[in-house]
């Protein structure tokens, strides 16, 4: 979820990415790019980038496995987990994964988040396709694992389906993904925010969204979350909603936050004339 698109300090420059980016992102300890690096056709590859892709696969896998497992167990055991329980599972798994993998890949685990960051120029467009591919792969592997664990009568569809009309589901997915990305932009891309609370804020937002939107749309907010179970179970009803609405909502949320932010000045400079803060300090 965080905006963490730079390379690590132990990068190894070979070939995969444009060399113009290699010169900017390659660590100083790595060998200089070869002479061919000055041509536009040359490409650049880094070990840290592969580590990011691995983190996205693992993070998405564990997020989908835990969240969808809560759904399946709830359906197979007389709804013992309940909606609040499922919401808590989704919120907690997102929170712990943001804290454990955010410093490696940015903890996107969601094509909507990746696309939204890219549209705001906080993430390179050339890394978007491999990120999305890894996210869908992780989701599909998680759904496949659950399918193997819960076979025959226990096999439940852990994907997302609209409970009402397609328009209702589309608007709901747009709004909750907008809300999620607005929060992510605030805590993960604004250096004035308290970065240590990013995982808690994002996880809490997911929990809230699942709590009220889960019975209506499944509260996907994530095309990969819907695609993985759909592919494994071959159930594609209303899938276009979960592929289109979340990226649109996330992009809108990121851009609206950028308009609200309006400046990158430190917080102390903005609040110098904030009388209510001064008054609160005296009381």
Per-position DSSP letters for 232-243, written without gaps between them:
HHT--TTHHHHH
Residue 169 and residue 162 in contact, taking contact as beta carbons nearer than 8 Å: yes
The Cα 65–Cα 227 span in angstroms is 13
Of 223, 243, 250, nearest to 116 by C-alpha is 250
Residue 220 and residue 110 in contact, taking contact as beta carbons nearer than 8 Å: no
Q: What share of the chain is helix, strand, coil (3-state, %, to 5)?
A: 70, 0, 30
The ranges assigned to domains in the chain are 49-268
Question: Rounded to two decimals, what is the model's pTM?
Answer: 0.79
Instruction: Give me the residue label for tokens 């990226």.
Output: 247
pLDDT in tens, 225-257: 999 999 999 999 999 999 999 999 999 999 999
What is the four-CA torsion angle of 3, 5, 6, 10, rounded to 10 degrees?
110
Homologous superfamily of the 49-268 domain (CATH): Glycerol uptake facilitator protein. (1.20.1080.10)
Q: What is the token pair recorded at 73? A: 């167990």
pLDDT in tens, 15-64: 334 444 443 444 444 455 454 444 343 334 688 999 999 999 999 999 99
Mean pLDDT by 10 residues, the chain (283 residues): 45 38 45 46 66 96 97 92 96 97 95 96 94 97 95 82 95 98 92 87 97 96 97 94 98 95 62 45 44
Distance separating the N- and C-terminal Cα atoms of the chain: 37
């Amino acid at each position: 979820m965080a905006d963490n698109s730079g390379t690590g300090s132990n990068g190894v420059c070979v070939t995969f990415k444009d060399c113009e980016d290699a010169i900017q992102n390659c660590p100083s300890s790595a060998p200089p790019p070869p002479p061919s690096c000055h041509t536009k056709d040359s490409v650049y590859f880094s070990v840290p980038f592969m580590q990011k892709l691995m983190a996205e696969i693992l993070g998405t896998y564990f997020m989908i496995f835990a969240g969808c497992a809560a759904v399946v167990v709830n359906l197979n055991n007389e709804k013992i987990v309940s909606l609040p329980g499922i919401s808590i599972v989704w919120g907690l798994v997102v929170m712990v994964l943001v804290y454990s993998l955010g410093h490696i890949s940015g903890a996107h685990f969601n094509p909507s988040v990746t696309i939204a960051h890219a549209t705001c120029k906080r993430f390179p467009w050339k890394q978007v396709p491999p990120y999305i591919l890894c996210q869908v792969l992780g989701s599909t592997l998680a759904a496949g694992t659950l399918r193997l664990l819960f076979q025959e009568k226990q096999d439940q569809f852990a994907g997302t389906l609209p409970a009402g009309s397609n328009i209702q589901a589309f608007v709901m997915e747009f709004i909750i993904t907008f809300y999620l990305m607005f929060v992510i932009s605030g805590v993960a891309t604004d250096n004035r925010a308290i970065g240590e609370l990013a995982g808690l804020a994002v996880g809490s937002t997911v929990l809230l969204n699942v709590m009220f939107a889960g019975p209506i749309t499944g509260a996907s907010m994530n095309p990969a979350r819907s695609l993985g179970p759909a592919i494994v179970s071959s159930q594609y009803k209303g899938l276009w909603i979960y592929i289109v609405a979340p990226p649109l909502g996330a992009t809108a949320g990121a851009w609206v936050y950028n308009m609200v932010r309006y400046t990158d000045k430190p917080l102390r400079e903005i609040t110098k004339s904030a009388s209510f803060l001064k008054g609160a300090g005296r009381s």
